[in-house]
Amino acid sequence: MCANYTPTRAERLEALLVTSVNEPFSFKYECYPGNLAPLIRNAEGLPEDSGFERQLDYGMFGVVPPWADLKLARSTYNARTETVATKPSFRSAWKRQQFCAIPVDNFFEPNYESGKPVRWQIEHVDGKPLCVAGLWEWRPNGGPDDRPLISFTMLTINADDHPLMRRFHKPGDEKRMIVLLDFDEVDAWLQSPLENAPEFFKQYDAEKLTAVAAPKAARAKKTPVQNAEEAFEDRFLF
């Protein structure tokens, strides 16, 4: 599971990937459901001789199909690989093979080993960005200035036996982790046929990850809550 992460900045991505970049967009340092952040998709609408196989877009964290209210993003930011093909919010994107990769510098999970939830930060041991396998969706409105909106979700797998990720989330709950990719796996994921997609649903090597406590600073509560991000943080502050 992942409800909060640090998106990789566009300038860092351009150094790692040969990619076309849609119009620049300023996004928050940390991303929560409902926020806009970068995602990588197969290049669409570009000349075949452009040399670009992928493009960098910006979308809402949390899938919001055309038929849904934007608030749905608060519950569709993760999709279980076991049920993604059948859940109403995800099945259309899955059937159309709308795969994406979400670039992250790090991500956060709650650790209960002290008896109370403490936010921990997880990242690659070398500090390099990772990508999360995901799905993207499109709708004709809901974006900035009510323009068309891309939205996305992160795919998750069971992590009950993962040496690191089993340490997170409430005691007694199933342990889950996002599907992490190295950058050299991104093209293969984006172009994968549906029948081959499960080949990517594997646990990331624990020895390549590091985790440290990173509690969030306490803050004065605002009444009423000013926006959707603050409402989400008040529910999931750890």
The pLDDT of residue 76: 97
The pLDDT of residue 200: 98
* DSSP code for 216: P
User: Quick one: CA torsion of 193, 198, 203, 205, rounded to 10 degrees?
Assistant: -40
Q: pTM for this structure?
A: 0.87
The pLDDT of residue 221: 65
The answer for residues whose C-beta is within 8 angstroms of residue 122's C-beta and 6 or more apart is 106, 107, 108, 109, 164, 165, 209, 210, 211
The pLDDT of residue 219: 65
Residue pLDDT, tens place only, 73-129 = 999 999 999 999 999 999 999 999 999 999 999 999 999 999 999 999 999 999 999
Comparing C-alpha atoms, which of 147, 169, 42, 22 is closest to residue 99? 42
d(CA 235, CA 9): 27
The CATH number of residue 164's host domain is 3.90.1680.10
User: Which residue numbers in the chain have pLDDT < 50?
Assistant: 18, 46-47, 49-50, 224-226, 229, 231-238
The pLDDT of residue 22: 58
The pLDDT of residue 238: 32
Q: Which domain holds residue 49?
A: 5-236
The pLDDT of residue 147: 85
Q: How many domains does the chain have?
A: 1
